[in-house]
Structure 1
Amino acid sequence: MPDGGGLQAVEASQRPDSQVRVFAMPPREHAGPVSIVDGFLEALTSDDPQYTMARKYLTAKAARSWHPEARTTVLKDGPSPDPANGPSAGDEGRTFRLNGSQVALVDQEQAYRPESGAYSKTLHLVQEDGPKGKQWRIDGLPQGVVLGQSDFQRIYQSVDKYYYALDEETPGGGSATNASTSTSTGTSTGTGSGVSGRQKRLVADPVYVRQWIDPLTQTVRALLDGPTRWLDPAVTTAFPTGTGLRKDVKSLAPDDDNNLKVPLNAKADHVGQARCKEMAAQLLFSLQDVTSANVSQIELQRSNGSQLCVLSESGAEGLVAQRTSGPSDDQYFLDGKGRLVRMSGASRTTKEPERVPGPLGDGEQRMRSVAVSRDETQAAAVSSNGSELFVGSFVSGASLGDPVAKSEAKSENDRLTTPSWDGLGDLWVADRDPKNPRLLMLGRGLAGKVHEVEVSDLGGARIDAVKVSADGVRIALIVEDKGRTTLRIGRIERDVSADGRMTVTVPQLSAAAPQMEEVTAMSWAGPSRLVVVGRESGGVRQLSYVQCDGSVPTGQALPGLTGVKEIAASEDDRLPLVAHSDDGIVRLPPGLPWQTVLKEGTAPVYPG
């Protein structure tokens, strides 16, 4: 220890702690069958790019036919290899059965899909002649990779690749991918390629990449491969069909100025400047989650190496609608008298909330839930008994007017849910009437028509809560079925016929929090993340983050809060969570504990 000298301030490192990496070992000479199986399973958890070491445990034929990229099966506690009872007649090999409890599957598109159930597959071993005599090797195995949940979380990271939302004005809808690839001049019919006067909406499509194996190049390739099957009908891409990296490109890396050059194949050689920049914007936003990327500018290149276009971060932000949650950082809620009030979300200290102008701030009629439009010019509110939905403007002296939707349910608990606005200006609400359960969309709020939305995969279940993402493409639903409430994510498809009539459907629901047996509140908290209030089997009710694909992000624990009834989050993670709890309206600024805002208050919301 030094015994003299002065003190000097140093800048604290913000780098995350280094994670454990696993390096596979080759099989030992004359290792027995048990050792070969254990060594192979261990090699699957390594950071070996092509699983070269894992293939050394296979026979030459099996090594050629095994495709680890086909799928990744995630088990709760990892595979447990058990020797079979005995070899079959005439079989001199050995058979092992891999058992476990499956929780998810990552498919060839790198998309995560929750799948629960028992897992049981076999490995077959034979003795293969080698330079040093016979060696036990695996000659029969399932395609893909099998991992325990902890190993999966260590090896893989979730990244959002981005595609453009299909324009609901396009007659007939159609295939998302094909809608934007009919020309090479930047004037095709899809929203992902034409020259348009308004900013475009990007939709996050989460996939998993191996975080130690060139995640930047993996993310670029995944984006060029197109959207996942689940999201594909609702989005489009600016990249022409068949676009990929030039054949000789093995890896990509930014230069010292954080400029990333991306050489494309000949499919993109003749795109126009407007379309090229939309392609580059997709890449820039998709690389934001790759912590090792640090890319601030994209340069797309033709197949001959010449420059196609250049786009910086500021240029991408001007092209794509970024602030979809609202023009301000304000949080809104109802005070003890049922009046709509707001306060700044950017402040790290609590200040007295102020009433909004207009009928909802005046308390002309007491409300029980509210949703503020994303442009913060109006709000939708449900009456205190839940039977009527009103839309009121933020203009002093304006009247509330007639309700825009009604529920005829006898019980107050069976009437209208809290409404939700999407980034297009459409207003959504569910009617929980047991005799006539409905999901409603009011086109552009007050001025539009009421569309009854068909929701597939509901069966006899009822929608208890609705929250639409800012992009207007995905909808989060709390669904009640036989006393159990679960979180589902649906894809929104808008189809406009030739005569101008719109049909809105939610054709496919997926589980977003399968580990929870009860979900009581939720809110979007980012492009592909939600914050939920729920309880796992045998556990207590708590706050947690979940991904919209059903996976659970690591290292994002939330401090406990008792009696949470409602939760609100901004898509800007720098803004605090806001909740209605036993302590009234509370909020959680980044890096600080929960703070009480108002003892008497309900229905906290951000715009949307």
Structure 2
Amino acid sequence: MTRLRSLSLLVAGTLLLTACTGVPTSSAPQVVKRIGVAKPNSGPAIAPTLNADPRTMVQDFLSANALDNHATARDFLTPQAKNKWLDTTVTVLDSLRTSNFTNGSVTVRGREKGTVNASGIYTPVLQGDGTGGGLVSFAFVMKKVKGQWRVDTLPSGLILGDADFQRIYLQRKIYFYDLTEKRLVPDPRYSSLTDPLLLANWLAEQLAIGPRPELQNAVSRELPAQTDPRRVAVLLGSPVTVELPGAAKLDGSTRDRLAGQLALTLDQILPGSAFSILDGGRAVPVLSAGGTQFTASGFRSAVLPANALPPLYYIHAGGVVDATGKPLPGQLGSGQYHLSSVALAGQPGSQDMLAAGTSGPDANARLFVGTARTGMRVTTVHGRLSRPSWAPNLNEVWVGDGSQVFRVTQGGEPTPVPLAGPGALTGQVSALRFSPEGSRVAVVLTATDGGSAQVWVGSVVRTPAQVRVDSLEPISPQEVVVTDVAWNDQLKLFTIGRVRSTGESSVYEVQVDGSLWTPRSSQNLPGAPESITVAENVAAWVSVGPTVWRQNGGSWEGPGGESTPGTAPTYLE
């Protein structure tokens, strides 16, 4: 047997063994060699215990679900069940409660928190307060095989407790350019793969398949038309190569963007690597790299926030002050606008800041727009207004006005922004914030009676004819009444709200897909927070009544260690 054939068979065997590794197994990548590959991070193998009772057998099967290699889980199944069971999806429960063996089956129950499909896309279950939705049941029908109990009929997919899911499945990012083709938008996916080669191939395959449904109209596709995802293959080495049929026929600008997508996507698991795109085994030139090899550093600017360490501001006595409490110079800091909220944004090539604020009674507030140096002027937008938010790197501020959203230029001209989601969207837009790159927007929709309020996230779609928000989907639990929302980074948000049944208020963390809803400490806060701001690499701030508070580890403190008067903190956008 030749060395090449031996190596091919070794890799083929490895791929067959790992073809049951959780979600990312919809199609095996084409691989001819393995270089520097880490071993999967599995726990000890779990095998069926001789003469185990049916309940123990099901419990051990579920424990085997939580291992990287699900081949051991199949040992708990009858031959017929082995051929039918698929492990490409995940159901996440708060915990797994296993019943006794009754009427030929064992039932597993738990409160459902979410599901993961074969593409790694997480869908949350939003009933309840974030600890899980309604109780669901899964029946495992048992049968004896050669005198030993085995599972004969079972639900398709893995069933995991939330703790195991968070331990095993990591959030990965697939990057797509927005419609301006200037910014890279992350599309989060969950995978249990730890082998760099298998994970790299799965990510490249998902990139070729395309974005999640919510991003379909908001991002561009750089891959060659009719690309077969099964023919995209990553080989580890120096450089890491990505075989992508048809890449050589793309124009130079498209090849540059394709290189950016691949580099940022694969650099997560192969940090610092050089990459090269192959078409039919030949390296494809990338113009921006000046050759055929490129790295993620050459495209990092497409994902960086507009401000690396943004300064903080808040309202005091109707004017804008900085983090030390010093009023901004001019009209903005004087208090003459009697502001209740403010949004500030930098301008490329200018020391002046774009400024927008709301002023007046809650039921009929008015929007002011201008700059920090020249002052602001009132616009025609008025009503129940949210805090305004500047679109990143654009001379355009958005604000919720009752059930509508308007975008307003520095000149003060308002334009309605259509909102599209599942069914008719109702409620007041009580909060609105852009993601750091501007491809997504988070809004809080509050019911007319104030009894419910959820965070919704949608894609910002910009065309020459229209700017709209597509695919708005709720991401926060229905029983938490949300007050405000802010983006920590491109994929993580902070919210504040209260549990409807208990009235308990808290600060929460959540991912853009609704996963990992987590209450955070409210230690030292004198009451329920009313507004929040946060950004990447800086601390969160909230306002409670007439005071502002800064997060410090697991608790909150007033700036300078003392209670500080102020409201509506905001970071430079």
> Shorter-chain-normalised TM-score: which range?
0.7 to 0.9
- Three-state SS of the structure 2 residue aligned to 1:484 is coil
C-alpha separation in 1, matches of 2:487 and 2:122: 19
Q: Does 1:103 align with 2:83?
A: no
Give the direction of change, closer, same or farther, for the CA distance of 1:585–1:296 in structure 2 (3 Å limit). farther
Matches within 5 A, 1:50-129: 51-69=70-88, 71-84=89-102, 86=103, 94-115=104-125, 116-128=133-145
Q: Does 1:425 align with 2:400?
A: no
Give the direction of change, closer, same or farther, for the CA distance of 1:55–1:41 in structure 2 (3 Å limit). same
Match of 2:35 in 1: none
Match of 1:378 in 2: 354
Match of 2:157 in 1: 144
Give the direction of change, closer, same or farther, for the CA distance of 1:560–1:119 in structure 2 (3 Å limit). farther
C-alpha separation in 1, matches of 2:506 and 2:245: 52
Give the direction of change, closer, same or farther, for the CA distance of 1:239–1:553 in structure 2 (3 Å limit). farther
The TM-score normalised by the length of structure 2 is: 0.79
Gap runs ≥5 in structure 2: 1-39, 126-132, 286-291
Q: Select which of 42, 59, 83 maps to 2:63.
A: 42
Q: Select which of 242, 245, 260 maps to 1:263.
A: 242
Q: Does 1:203 align with 2:181?
A: no
Give the direction of change, closer, same or farther, for the CA distance of 1:513–1:554 in structure 2 (3 Å limit). closer
Give the deviation of 1:501 after TM superposition: 4.1
1:575/1:589 contact within 8 Å kept: no
- Three-state SS of the structure 2 residue aligned to 1:355 is coil
C-alpha separation in 2, matches of 1:452 and 1:236: 21
2:305/2:437 contact within 8 Å kept: no
Match of 1:300 in 2: 277
Match of 2:26 in 1: none
Letter in 2 for 1:113: T
Greater CA drift, 110-119 or 521-530: 110-119
- Three-state SS of the structure 2 residue aligned to 1:466 is strand
Give the deviation of 1:560 after TM superposition: 5.4
Letter in 2 for 1:315: G
1:342/1:356 contact within 8 Å kept: no
1:245/1:263 contact within 8 Å kept: no
Q: Does 1:226 align with 2:243?
A: no
Q: Select which of 305, 310, 328 maps to 1:323.
A: 305
2:496/2:508 contact within 8 Å kept: yes
Match of 2:314 in 1: 333
Letter in 2 for 1:322: L
C-alpha separation in 2, matches of 1:330 and 1:216: 37
Match of 1:530 in 2: 493
Give the direction of change, closer, same or farther, for the CA distance of 1:62–1:425 in structure 2 (3 Å limit). farther
C-alpha separation in 1, matches of 2:322 and 2:283: 53
- Three-state SS of the structure 2 residue aligned to 1:284 is helix
Give the deviation of 1:162 after TM superposition: 1.8
Give the direction of change, closer, same or farther, for the CA distance of 1:523–1:100 in structure 2 (3 Å limit). same
C-alpha separation in 2, matches of 1:352 and 1:447: 29
Give the direction of change, closer, same or farther, for the CA distance of 1:383–1:304 in structure 2 (3 Å limit). same
C-alpha separation in 2, matches of 1:140 and 1:533: 44
Matched positions, count: 506
1:340/1:360 contact within 8 Å kept: yes
Give the direction of change, closer, same or farther, for the CA distance of 1:555–1:103 in structure 2 (3 Å limit). closer
2:240/2:273 contact within 8 Å kept: no
1:73/1:104 contact within 8 Å kept: yes
Match of 1:177 in 2: none
2:345/2:354 contact within 8 Å kept: yes
Letter in 1 for 2:435: S
Q: Does 1:541 align with 2:559?
A: no
Letter in 1 for 2:400: A
Gap runs ≥5 in structure 1: 1-18, 87-93, 168-190, 192-199, 344-350, 408-414
Matches within 5 A, 1:168-317: 191=181, 200-210=182-192, 212-214=194-196, 215-243=199-227, 249=233, 253=236, 261-287=240-266, 290=268, 293-304=270-281, 306-308=283-285, 309-317=292-300
Identity over the aligned pairs, expressed in percent?
Answer: 25
- Three-state SS of the structure 2 residue aligned to 1:373 is strand
Q: Select which of 385, 399, 403 maps to 1:416.
A: 385
Letter in 1 for 2:179: L
Give the direction of change, closer, same or farther, for the CA distance of 1:356–1:474 in structure 2 (3 Å limit). farther
Give the deviation of 1:492 after TM superposition: 3.6
Letter in 2 for 1:389: L
C-alpha separation in 1, matches of 2:476 and 2:244: 40
2:442/2:457 contact within 8 Å kept: yes
Q: String of CA shifts for 1:463-507, please: whole Å, max 9, x gaps.
A: 2211122333322122222433433223245464xxx642x4434
Give the deviation of 1:106 after TM superposition: 0.9
Match of 2:18 in 1: none
Letter in 2 for 1:364: Q
Q: Select which of 332, 356, 363 maps to 2:335.
A: 363
2:59/2:98 contact within 8 Å kept: no
Matches within 5 A, 1:549-568: 549-552=513-516, 561-563=525-527, 564-568=529-533
- Three-state SS of the structure 2 residue aligned to 1:603 is strand
Letter in 2 for 1:38: Q
Say which structure is richer in helix. 2
Letter in 1 for 2:213: R
1:331/1:607 contact within 8 Å kept: yes
- Three-state SS of the structure 2 residue aligned to 1:300 is strand
Match of 1:342 in 2: 322
2:209/2:229 contact within 8 Å kept: no
Q: Does 1:389 align with 2:367?
A: yes
Give the deviation of 1:522 after TM superposition: 1.7
Give the deviation of 1:446 after TM superposition: 2.9
The TM-score normalised by the length of structure 1 is: 0.75
- Three-state SS of the structure 2 residue aligned to 1:377 is strand
- Three-state SS of the structure 2 residue aligned to 1:340 is strand
Q: String of CA shifts for 1:263-313, please: whole Å, max 9, x gaps.
A: 22324343344322322222333356x4x5323543323341535532223
RMSD of equivalent CA atoms? 3.2
Give the deviation of 1:559 after TM superposition: 5.7
Give the deviation of 1:568 after TM superposition: 0.8
Give the deviation of 1:42 after TM superposition: 1.5
Letter in 1 for 2:369: V
1:530/1:546 contact within 8 Å kept: yes
C-alpha separation in 1, matches of 2:264 and 2:469: 26
